A and B are shown apart, each in its own frame.
Chain A
Amino acid sequence: MRVLTLLMFLAHCLPVPLSPCLIVSLSPRLPVSPSPGAPAVVSAFDRPNDAGSVIQLRWSLSPDDASIDGYAVLRRARDDTAYTKIGSTMRGVTVFEDEGVQDGVPYEYIVASLRDGAMFHSEPSAPAMSYPQFFHKGRINVLLCIVAFTLLLAYFVVKARTGKDLFIRKIAGLAAVEEAVGRATEMGKPILYVPGLGDIDWTATIASMNILGEVARKIARYDSALIVPNRWSVTYTVSKEVVKEAFVAEGSPDKFKEEYVRYVTEAQFGFAAAINGIMTREKPATNFFIGRFWAESLIMAETGAQTGAFQIAGTDSVLQLPFFVSACDYTLMGEELYAASAYLSREPVLLGSLKAQDYGKLAVLLVLFGISLTSFFGVNLLPVLRVQ
């Protein structure tokens, strides 16, 4: 006990916080400092919804929080004889995550207020141990939404299969695709299809590939030429297969040419420069800009407008939509991009899925309206929707 008191006295005299090696030498039964400033009620528990190896700590602020330097966190495994400093926080903080623990091993924690290098220890926490979880409970809301939407989708797909006529409003940009392909055929010029600058993991690029399939089928039917420049190697291979399959599906595989689908470069503005070069050299009659775009959208669309091409754009990037609207003849906005494949193919099953989307949106709008309404009465339902 005298040794411990001596050590504590030395610790108080130190100009810097205790080093871990010094803490290790302390007794496991640290007495609670009677000095003011020690934080209270330290609780330790496994961090929920994770892969294990993390214990979360919470404590109450020291009554002298405003005058201390911060908090030190000390830990010991149940079989250890000493506490080890594992980290520190600033004052005003009441949480800490210990990411260096072993699953299934109980640990005890103490939190100390730091002032002028001295530590004022809390009571030890109850033992806590970490373990990995098999289900992320914080994502139950996402799971429920996916299940509900999948059921809605299945319902409308089945309904469409029974032959029920589904009304889909006219989308001007998609109605013009036929005209755009026909125009290029009449002029004897190629059609440029830019599937965006996003890689294949962007949903907009996948939607663009679906539209490319439909456009390529029309091109195969009209016997026009096509240019599909790609920024990414994977989108290049996918778009090549999509175009090839479309020509095969139309019964004219011999009309497909390898030069239709090209790989250009991964450099964003290098790609934009290449597209501008294609537009000014090869003068396509129709340009499609469909997919994910960034700052280069206007550079390409405006060049296309200056060459006199008929232009149809489509993106889910809200920031690029105004540029396309101002420079292109037709623009598919947001969800229209995802509806395009169904609209062009007119397959009842795909049209059914559009109905599911509409009802899904209606449900979300009702939920948002309900949450807004309850907030007027002081009931906050937002935490229920929060995804972890």
Chain B
Amino acid sequence: MKRRLPLAICFIMGLVMIVQFFIPHPTSLAFSSVIYKWIIVLMAFALVLAIGNLIRHHGEKIRRRKEDWPYSIVTLAGMVAMAAIGLTWGIASDSLYQKIFLNVMAPLGGTMFALLAYYMASAAYRAFRARSLEATLLLVSAFIVMIGFMPFGQYLHPRFPAFAEWIMTVPNMASQRGILLGVAFGSIATALKIILGIERSWLGGKD
């Protein structure tokens, strides 16, 4: 019963939502809207559980004085402060909540994003070490594309930009489409397997 109920719910709801996709009638759209509202309610319940987990995890770290436990105080203090500020003064565009978000959270996010440039350099160094035929091909094509898309490229050879463009639009696009085709079928197969109850890994596997 513990297995059958989730499988039955999954099958029925999956089937109903597939059928709904083919029915444009207002009743069908209203039903779909109700389902999406249910999802929001479910997400709210899940958020309570998630926040409970966050508090428990960091509370435990602080209590046991685990490594770097002061960061847990910052995490919990930040969460409580933002929730209190948002609930007390609202989250309008000129509110304190938005000011903190735009002046603290956004720059911090931007800083993390900026690190990407340095990580790209180290990853490129590793990827471009020509240790195999594939890596050599990667290195050569990356060199052509980079030079081709720079204004400097056409001075090296007038056909450089066109060749770089060809690499991007023909071999690169062909391989991307090949991957996307596989992804599309994989997505459909995964959805069908779960709806039909063939895939049960999410329930701990076979029976």
A residues with CB within 8 A of B: 49-52, 132-136, 139, 142-143, 146, 149-150, 153, 157, 203-204, 206-207, 209-211, 213-214, 217, 230, 233-234, 236-238, 240-242, 244-246, 248-249, 258-259, 261-264, 267-270, 272-273, 277, 281, 295-296, 298-299, 301-303, 305-306, 316, 318, 321-323, 325-327, 333-335, 337-339, 341, 345, 347, 349-350, 353-354, 356-357, 360-361, 364-365
Contacts and interface: CB of A to CB of B under 8 A. Distances in A.
A350 B191 contact: no
Given A269-B109, A299-B119, A341-B199, A234 B42 contact: yes
Contact of B189 (A50, A242, A345, A356): A356
Contacts of B84: none
Interface stretch (B122-130, B149-157, B163-171): B122-130
B194 to A, nearest CB: 7
A325 B198 contact: no
Contact of A318 (B124, B180, B188): B180
Contacts of B109: 267-270
B146 to A, nearest CB: 14
4 closest Cβ pairs, A-B complex: A338-B186, A245-B204, A335-B182, A326-B127
B26 A132 contact: yes
B115 interface: yes
A270 B120 CA distance: 19
Contacts of A299: 112, 115-116, 119
Main secondary structure of the interface of B (DSSP, over half): helix
Nearest to B118: A302
B23 A233 contact: no
Given A51-B24, A245-B204, A321-B179, 14 more contacts: A51-B29, A157-B198, A203-B187, A258-B53, A259-B60, A298-B123, A299-B119, A306-B122, A318-B183, A326-B127, A335-B185, A353-B198, A356-B189, A357-B189
